[in-house]
Amino acid sequence: MKYFVVIIVLILTISCTQKPKAFKVAQEPSKEIIYALNGQDFSIVLNDMDIEKKKQNNKDLIVYKHKYHVLKLKNDSLIVDSLDWKPVNEKFFLKYEKDLGMEIISQHNGKLSYVAQPIGHGWAIGNKKYGEWVVDSTATTNSNTNRRQRSHWRPHSSGLFWYWMLSRRTYRSDYNNSRTFNSAGKTYYGSDNKGHSTYGTNSKYQKSKRSSFFTRSKRSKTWNNYRKKTSRSSSRYNNSSRTRSRSGGFGK
């Protein structure tokens, strides 16, 4: 009888300590967007992300979710489709967790890219059809090279089209670095004079623009467990390397 009780206790302990599995989707929502747009130029912007725990068949599941803005050009006007929460796979979530507020997937001039980049850097900024580089009025250096690097992008027009690209000033040095990184298949996050990212989830800009995300994720036990998990995975990797608008449908 004593052994029977021990076995029951062990079974209950194991069942209670089993970690919830991640909810899986058959196809990423981003794939659905790509298919629906059928060759059109577009950019998918990661507008928000979340992690929640839910019950399914009496089992706990961890659900990873994204919210997107889909940007499309039509007659030089910007159409913005704002999509509601969509579940994504854990691996996909992890891939873009540093890219809040950035284009994570884009297609322009027939080229499909899965490399995250600052909004507009691959198709609007630097395109003479839409604007020009002007010298920053605060630049005091006499060096022509430095003055060019401190120049910023000024569009030919204003309004909704430019809200997404120019809610912050884009300097030529950042643009050049971004394009260099993108050509190498890497994401450019920039760096301010204190060494902080200027683009993406860890940037001061996003912490101000999307404060609700940071408040929500900071208070969430599910988010904190995720951070611990990814932190441990990152530590194991490092140790082994020493002995990684509008609301509506998007197809309109």
- Specify whether the CB–CB gap between 55 and 63 falls below 8 A: no
Residue for token pair 């920039």? 190
Please determine, for residue 78, whether its predicted confidence score (pLDDT) is greater than 90: no
Which of 183, 164, 160, 131 minimizes the C-alpha distance to 43? 164
* Reported confidence tier of residue 216, pLDDT bands at 50, 70, 90: very high
Please determine, for residue 167, whether its predicted confidence score (pLDDT) is greater than 60: yes
CA distance 103 to 101: 7
Name every residue whose Cβ is closer than 8 Å to that of residue 237 and which is 6 or more positions away in sequence: 244
CA neighbours closer than 13 Å in the CB half-sphere of residue 230: 14
Please determine, for residue 247, whether its predicted confidence score (pLDDT) is greater than 50: no
Decide which of 4 and 227 is more confident.
227
Give backbone dihedrals phi and psi of 106, rounded to 5 degrees, phi first.
-150, 155
Chain centroid offset of residue 165 CA: 15
Q: Report how far apart, in Å, the C-alpha atoms of 243 and of each of 180, 183, 231, 234, 240 are.
A: 32, 31, 19, 15, 6
For the chain, what is the radius of gyration of the CA atoms? Answer: 22
* Reported confidence tier of residue 139, pLDDT bands at 50, 70, 90: low
Please determine, for residue 183, whether its predicted confidence score (pLDDT) is greater than 90: yes
How would you write 124-174 as a 3-class SS string?
Answer: CCCCCCCEEEECCCCCCCCCHHHHHHCCEEEECCCCHHHHHHHCCCCEHHH
CA distance 243 to 239: 7
Q: The pTM is what?
A: 0.81
Residue for token pair 């101000």? 208
Instruction: Please spell the DSSP secondary structure of 4-42, one letter per residue.
Output: HHHHHHHHHHHHHHPPPEEP--SS-HHHHHHHHHTT--E
Q: What is the pLDDT of residue 18?
A: 63
CA distance 160 to 147: 29
Determine how β-strand 246-247 pairs with β-strand 77-88: parallel
What percentage of the chain reaches a pLDDT higher than 90? 50
Per-residue pLDDT of 28-73, as tens digits, reads: 999 999 999 998 999 999 999 999 998 887 888 999 999 999 999 8
Residue for token pair 């979710």? 65
